[in-house]
Structure 1
């Protein structure tokens, strides 16, 4: 392969990884599925397809998420050289200034779309962009706030869709709690895996301040809370749809995760982290299938 072509391809993949494009693609799928099958209770599929405001809100949110991924990797660059060496090497094919240009462009594009939709959406996304920058710059190194803020910012676009449709129900509240606790579990588990790098670069995390055992104990407690939330959803809905079966199957997944963490063998935390990530993706698919067939 031509060296110049290899360099260009490496730059392209470096940008994709730096902007967390693959994570954003998954979030786009989740936003569209939740928008139509969870929050939208009155609109037909045809009206949903031609509702330019909801598409504008989702796309402007996605551009802000991409920008947030870029600014986050900019501040975490040194730490990522230890925790994600392969990704860091690929990202090094592209100078940091180009990431910053992309960050500004994506934020301006997001705000430009939002300004065409409504002033409230513009302010909603402006606040989101500020919080993403502030999290990357300051909050990511502050104990407890780093985990809570990360989860809140992940859920922020979903909150925007919820407010847009003005749909509130017991099912949505408990589904939101389930997602909140699952994301919090994932973030704490991630901190146990990056404990040494976090310590070197001054990130105050639960594993660094209180120890890995305390962090794992907190994770197990949150898993038990999620089991209770899942049981509440099952009792409320009954076992008469795919969405309920997802939460019922999740009880076994969570119990298996507790087993992995209590055994504490090599890679148990890594396996638990990836199992729960996979289970979140299964949840998005379950929501989609539930909406299609129910």
Structure 2
């Protein structure tokens, strides 16, 4: 048999300084591959945990074999490791496998079966493996779900729908928040306009009041007549007709649909007309 007929893993075993360590390294990489794609963080973690291994070759070829899920290579690694490690000697290796399996905080279904396989391979009974798993993770080693049960798929579908409802609820909350912010900004703007309108009305009222207090009676009468569009000497009847005509034209209710600013301006004009009318009816 020529060397060209050997598989990549067989070649690694032939070059290895310690075949059991090379086999253990592939099985640990297999655990990593069952968690998902192996990136730089996973490579670094595996190198850290296996720094004391005596295989003497690069890590990259092992990771490439594990990523392809080469079952022939995994079976060969299991046979090699089984010859060297068994029973109580298996605990250090199983601790490493457990640590890599739950590195991201969860245990995949695939690695549940992988860990059971490795424990059985090395002669560690379930009753002995469970406390070992709990010592490493602080959690109980639960039995894996059985995909052959209808309840497994029902629970899976329930979780999927629950995630969709949660996502829809979050999106609705986001839309509600945006709408509430828009309404608040609009309401704040309207309040600001309303305050400005009231402020202008108060300024006009104070100016009119000061003018009334400081003006002579004759001057006030002339100004009141001018507001109603009348000449000096107008009769009470002319004052009433002028008031009714102007009141109909400038009453704020006529500007209800034109916005608050227009209504405020109409209200100011109407108040001046009303005060002028009241004053002239008193002195006429």
TM-score, reference length from structure 2: 0.23
- Say which one has the larger Rg: 2
The structure carrying a bigger helix percent of its residues is: 1
TM-score, reference length from structure 1: 0.22
Q: Which has the higher contact order (CA 8 A, sep 6+)?
A: 1
